[in-house]
Amino acid sequence: MRGYPIVISSPSGGGKTTLVHRILADMPKAAYSVSICTRPPRTGERNGRDYFFVSKPAFERMVRKHELAEWANVHGYLYGTPKKFLDAKISLGYFPILDIDVQGAIQLKKKYPDGVYIFLIPPTLRELSRRLRERHTDSAEEIKKRLMAAKREISMAQQYDYVVLNDDIDAAVERVKTILEAERWRAHRAESRLKALR
């Protein structure tokens, strides 16, 4: 049985990274899809684990050679998903988990319509702003920019399959696990089971 991609997006500060780690820990057939990107690594980030850090010319070469399943320009840097890893995992029955932005998710949905596309939302914009300030990683100017971007991203959330409230990380993890469990029974995945009944 083939797998399918599971896409988790959220505005920055939306809790996506924590949630993705929790899902990966609990789902044996999930596999994190490591994006490539042109921004320099942040402290603590490791090449091949968090991202594959590549040069802009190298990234552009992959775009030209159609080696990316999706790619996007986010705050001036390029991010993308190598198609090779994705297709290999899917055909082996694994579920690649992609932590990608809205533009990338919308591209991917056209190519992988049987995937599961989940957008995480904060309870309020005020709460999102509080979470961003608490990280102590961004300047006031940077936070303002991220909040603007969040509004733009949230306005596209209905192009996803699910919009999940992250008011509490444990509850949000449970909601996503419930969704992934339910998705196994979608009619378009029942082909072989129905064939056996003919």
User: Residue numbers of the site for a second copy (CB under 8 A)?
Assistant: 119, 121-122, 124-125, 151, 154-155, 157-165, 175, 178-179, 181-183, 185-188, 190-191, 193-194, 196-198
Question: Cβ closer to a second copy: 33 or 166?
Answer: 166
How many Cβ atoms from other residues are within 10 Å of residue 183's Cβ? 18
Question: Cβ closer to a second copy: 82 or 122?
Answer: 122
Least Å from the CB of residue 14 to a second copy: 11
Q: 117 near 105, Cβ under 8 Å?
A: yes
Least Å from the CB of residue 86 to a second copy: 23
- How distant is the alpha carbon of residue 31 from its chain centre? 12
Least Å from the CB of residue 192 to a second copy: 11
Question: Cβ closer to a second copy: 27 or 62?
Answer: 27
- Distances, alpha carbon 64 to alpha carbons 9, 71, 86, 119, in Å: 26, 12, 18, 29
Least Å from the CB of residue 64 to a second copy: 33
Question: Cβ closer to a second copy: 144 or 186?
Answer: 186
Residue 58's contacts (CB-CB under 8 Å, 6 or more residues apart) are none
d(C-alpha 38, C-alpha 69), whole Å: 16
The SS3 call for residue 187 is helix
CA quadruple 120, 103, 36, 7: dihedral sign = positive
Least Å from the CB of residue 145 to a second copy: 17
Q: 122 near 14, Cβ under 8 Å?
A: yes
Question: Cβ closer to a second copy: 45 or 181?
Answer: 181
Question: Cβ closer to a second copy: 15 or 82?
Answer: 15
Least Å from the CB of residue 165 to a second copy: 7
Q: 163 near 122, Cβ under 8 Å?
A: no
